[in-house]
């Protein structure tokens, strides 16, 4: 059981690392949101894998469902912000947001 | 089988990050969600699996595709090629470090006590985690009002 948990956590770290790499290197706003989504997938896997490995599947499931609801809310708000930014700057390039500097 | 599914999950996540076409990236993200849902089903978490398929693979993909359709046209963002070139080196180093660190941590982390849970999922969700549901309702309303406020503000300017 511990071996499977270790394996799952190693893949969780890979997913979170991929998402952070995307956040650090990409310039497209929608790509950045995709990076956040990849991190969120890793977190969901971590919650369920820990619940499965430590014999607490029910609490882990309810926590994961809460997390998915938060994730959807974040994505909806972020996409609305992205559409507003696109209407203002006519671009999805994050570098063009530097003119918002005060 | 489990390892193959996890590898598929990582593969589609990499595709979603590295593909230049946003539409293909969004579809790869949805496929990754479906693979993750299968992994969750195999780990005795059917409710989260259903949520993952219906909400994340369904609703979020629809939101992504509609946003891409609304913002497409003028110009593509010029990504530098360096991240794509560096990626394999970064990925190999990261995986090696990851497995070394995880191997050392194995057995040292005592996450969650191992007592067996009693009752059904409905009992745990509705009776033990009631305030989570209140929080979820609050988060959903916050998201709805945020989206409404963002679009209403735009209409006032016009």
A28, β-bridge pairs? A93
pLDDT at B73 over 70: no
Rounded to an integer, the average pLDDT of B6-29 is 90
Give the pLDDT of residue B78: 72
Give the pLDDT of residue A38: 93
Q: What is the rounded CA–CA span in Å between residue A48 and residue A60?
A: 6
DSSP assignment letter at B115: P
Is A61 exposed, middle or buried (CB count within 10 Å of its CB: 0-12, 13-18, 19+)?
buried
Model confidence at B75, in pLDDT bands (50, 70, 90)?
low
* Residue B22 contacts residue B37 (beta carbons within 8 Å): no
Report ipTM (2 d.p.).
0.90
Q: Which whole-number Å values give the CA distances from B111 to A45, A86, B107, in the listed order?
A: 15, 43, 10
Model confidence at B110, in pLDDT bands (50, 70, 90)?
low
B57 C-beta neighbours (distance < 10 Å), count: 20
Interface test with chain A among B60, B96, B158, by most A beta carbons within 10 Å: B60
Give the pLDDT of residue B105: 72
* Residue A68 contacts residue B52 (beta carbons within 8 Å): yes
- Domains of chain A, earliest start first: 2-100 (1.10.287.3510)
pLDDT at B45 over 80: yes
Is B12 exposed, middle or buried (CB count within 10 Å of its CB: 0-12, 13-18, 19+)?
buried
B90 C-beta neighbours (distance < 10 Å), count: 14
pLDDT at A9 over 80: yes
Task: Show the tokens assigned to B123.
Answer: 């009992």
* Residue B30 contacts residue B61 (beta carbons within 8 Å): yes
Q: Which of residues 39-68 of A touch B (CB under 8 A)?
A: 41, 44-45, 48-52, 54-66, 68
Give tens-digit pLDDT for B119-142: 787 877 787 778 888 888 999 999
- Scan for tokens 């990076």, then name that residue: A35
Count how many pairs of residues, chain A against chain B, have C-beta atoms within 8 Å. Answer: 221
Where are the domains positioned within chain B? Answer: 1-72, 123-158
B27 C-beta neighbours (distance < 10 Å), count: 18
Give the pLDDT of residue A101: 61
Give the pLDDT of residue B158: 52
Model confidence at B30, in pLDDT bands (50, 70, 90)?
very high
Give tens-digit pLDDT for A49-99: 988 888 778 888 888 999 999 999 999 999 999 998 888 888 888 887 777
Task: Show the tokens assigned to A21.
Answer: 């790499």
Q: Which of A51, A78, A47 is nearest to A64 (CA)?
A: A47
Give the pLDDT of residue A19: 92
Q: Which residue of A has its CA nearest to B115?
A: A55
Give the pLDDT of residue B119: 75
Give the pLDDT of residue B115: 63
Average pLDDT, chain A: 87
């Amino acid at each position: 059981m511990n071996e499977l948990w270790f394996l799952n956590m190693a893949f969780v770290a890979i997913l979170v690392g991929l998402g952070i790499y995307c956040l650090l290197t990409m310039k497209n706003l929608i790509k950045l949101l995709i990076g956040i989504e990849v991190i969120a997938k890793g977190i969901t896997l971590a919650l369920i894998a820990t619940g499965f490995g430590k014999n607490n599947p029910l609490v882990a499931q309810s926590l994961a469902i809460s997390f998915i609801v938060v994730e959807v809310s974040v994505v909806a708000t972020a996409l609305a912000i992205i559409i507003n930014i696109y209407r203002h700057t006519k671009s999805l390039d994050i570098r063009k947001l530097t003119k918002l500097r005060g | 089988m489990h390892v193959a599914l996890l590898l598929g999950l990582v593969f589609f996540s990499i595709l979603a990050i590295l593909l230049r076409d946003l539409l293909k990236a969004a579809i790869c993200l949805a496929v990754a969600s479906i693979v993750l849902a299968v992994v969750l089903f195999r780990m005795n978490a059917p409710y989260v699996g259903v949520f993952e398929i219906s909400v994340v693979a369904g609703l979020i993909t629809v939101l992504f595709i509609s946003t891409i359709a609304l913002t497409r046209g003028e110009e593509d963002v010029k990504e530098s090629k360096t991240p794509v070139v560096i990626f394999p080196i970064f990925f190999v180093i990261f995986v090696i470090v990851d497995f070394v660190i995880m191997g050392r941590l194995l057995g040292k982390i005592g996450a969650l006590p191992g007592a067996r849970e009693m009752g059904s999922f409905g009992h745990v969700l509705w009776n033990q985690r009631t305030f989570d549901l209140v929080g979820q309702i609050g988060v959903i309303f916050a998201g709805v009002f945020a989206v409404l406020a963002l679009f209403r503000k735009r209409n006032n300017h016009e």
